[in-house]
Amino acid sequence: MANEIALKYGCNPNQKPARIFMADGGELPVKVINGKAGYINFLDALNGYQLVRELKAATGLPAAASFKHVSPAGAAVGLPLTDTLRKIYFVPETDKLTPLACAYARARGADRMSSFGDFISLSDECDAATARLISREVSDGVIAPGYSPKALEILTKKRDSAYTMIEIDPSYEPAALERKMCFGVTFEQGRNSYQITEDVLSNVVTARKDMTAEEKRDLIISLITLKYTQSNSVCFAKDGQAIGVGAGQQSRIHCTRLAGNKADLWHLRQSEKVLSLPLLPTRKRPERDNTIDLYLNSDECGDVLDEGNWQKYFSVRPEPFTAEEKKAYLATVTGVALGSDAFFPFGDNIERAHRSGVTAIAQPGGSIRDDNVIETCDKYGIAMAFDGIRLFHH
């Protein structure tokens, strides 16, 4: 390990010189073993690694995250993939997956458009199965505690060996105080070392008191994800993974709408109407992602189904997915967990969450309108815990 690493540039190409180093003169806990990392790459890598390390500690399962611009597009633990998830994540049935590979496929698949050009974080040594999945996608790089020889061979072949690979010392623990600068002024604060466990869900304030084991697991995943998401932020989670992250919004309802819309798209991609889309086999994965997104978001799918236009996307013209059909499909969704990094000030957030199948919520509480928020949860039979912790991250 070195005590400093020179970077290509800072946030933008005009911001030079740029480097990372240890202020105390000690050795960095990371080394670049392939490619050349940038300033934002390292911010994504170090935030993402903290997230997956905490997910593994909380769940006992390998974890992965997909970061873009210092917020996660997806985060997940290593639960097996269903046949449907394999299809929407473009994972061939013939691929033999390890738990870490499953975690990566889930993290990448949560919001595939946002994950385009991401930075990947892995809680465990990158194995060959995970490396094969990574090598098929467009990403800037990966951080992991290590790489198996086969994984190194697979990943160093990507992009003419320019693919950035960072190795981190898994035993590294940062100092209790952290600093950053803004406009020449140094800020200092205690590191957010709060450990998120199932204990934070004990104060259930709604009429429905029971939460399933799956709901509790997914609430923990959502809260740990929020701990490393630019605030304000809200996270929808289901089946061991984040399925919709709303980050960096000034209004909490906008966080909830953004995350809820992403969660809805994740569910709609599993519908038979989308699974059976006759996508052109010649189109690459990012193009297929864009086509599916257009199909689901266009007004009556007009953008991709217009006469003379659909041939660019499909081998035969598919039927539109109408607003009524989508609404009916989403009405069947249930068992979604929702975490918030600060209190919900109004019941409108719960109304929006209910439309995306939310049945369990964790938030700090403390609003003068807590009674209204609880009442709205009770209207829909949603269990809500006041976890008492604010998770702002900037």
Strands, E assignment, the chain: 4-6, 19-21, 30-34, 63-68, 71-77, 118-122, 139-144, 164-168, 177-182, 185-190, 233-238, 241-247, 336-340, 358-363, 383-386
Which residues are tagged catalytic? Answer: 68-69, 232, 394
Question: H/E element holding 225?
Answer: helix 213-227
Q: Which amino acid is at 175?
A: A
Paired tokens of 274:
């989308």
CA distance 53 to 168: 11
By CB neighbour count within 10 A (0-12 exposed, 13-18 middle, 19+ buried), where does 37 fall?
A: buried
Q: Who contacts 186 (Cβ-Cβ below 8 Å, separation ≥6)?
A: 179, 180
DSSP 60: S
Report residue 72 CA to chain centroid gap: 4
Dihedral (CA of 262, 265, 269, 271) sign? positive
Place of tokens 């992602």: 289
Paired tokens of 240:
């061991």
CA distance 171 to 232: 31
